[in-house]
Chain A
C-alpha cells in the first residue's frame, strides 16, 4: 500500500542551526502539506503546496521556514536558525485532490532543538 515516508524519524539540532526535514509523498498525489505538533498540543497546519508553489500558509510559517520540491519525489521543509520553540513533531501529508479528500500522513519527524 502506498505511503508517505519521512526522514529522519528523529533529529536533534543545536539552536541556531538549519535543518531540513524530508518527505516522499505518495507518487500520484498533487497536494502536499506540512503540519506541526508541539508536545501535548494539537496538530497545526503550516503550509500547503500545489503545482510547484505554496498555495496556503499559516501564521506560523514565517520567513524562517521554506518548502521545496527539488525533484519529482521529495518534498522538503527547511527551518533556518532553529529556536527552542521549534521543537515539535513535524508531519508531512499528501492528497490526490484538495478540498475534502483524504490526506495521508507520514510517521513524522521529531525535531528537538537544544
Chain B
C-alpha cells in the first residue's frame, strides 16, 4: 500500500526567510501525482502545488517550489520569502494516475509551520 511520510511535525521560519518541508512516499507505481496542501486555521485545505511524476521538471508556483526526486521517492516543498500568512499545517499527498483512479488522496501526517515576525 502507498504511504506518505512527513518527518517534521513542526517547523519554524523567520519572516522573509526560506524553509523546506520534507516528504517521502512509498509506491510501486510509476505514474502518479504529488501535492502539497495548506490548511490554515480556517481549516479549509488549499492546494499549494502539484507535481506530475512523469515530469522531471520541478513544479513552481510563485514563492513555492518543490524538489522532486523520483528515484528517492522524495518530494520536498520550499517556501521562499516566507510571509506571516504562510503559517499553517502543510500536508503532502499522493494519488495514483491510472485509468480507473478516482483521485483518492493519501496524506501524510502534516507539518505545522510557524512564521516569526
Contact = CB atoms under 8 A, between A and B. Distances in A.
Contacts of A70: none
Contacts, number: 72
B102 A48 contact: yes
User: Residue among A43, A55, A101 with the most chain B CB within 10 A?
Assistant: A43
Given A43-B91, A106-B44, A107-B43, A100 B50 contact: yes
Given A100-B32, A100-B50, A105-B44, A56 B104 contact: yes
B42 A48 contact: no
Interface string A87-114: 0010101010111111111111000000
B95 A99 contact: yes
Interface in A32-54: 33, 35, 41-45, 48, 50
Interface of A: 31, 33, 35, 41-45, 48, 50, 55-56, 58, 89, 91, 93, 95, 97-108
Interface of B: 32-33, 35, 37, 42-47, 50, 52, 91, 93, 95-98, 101-110
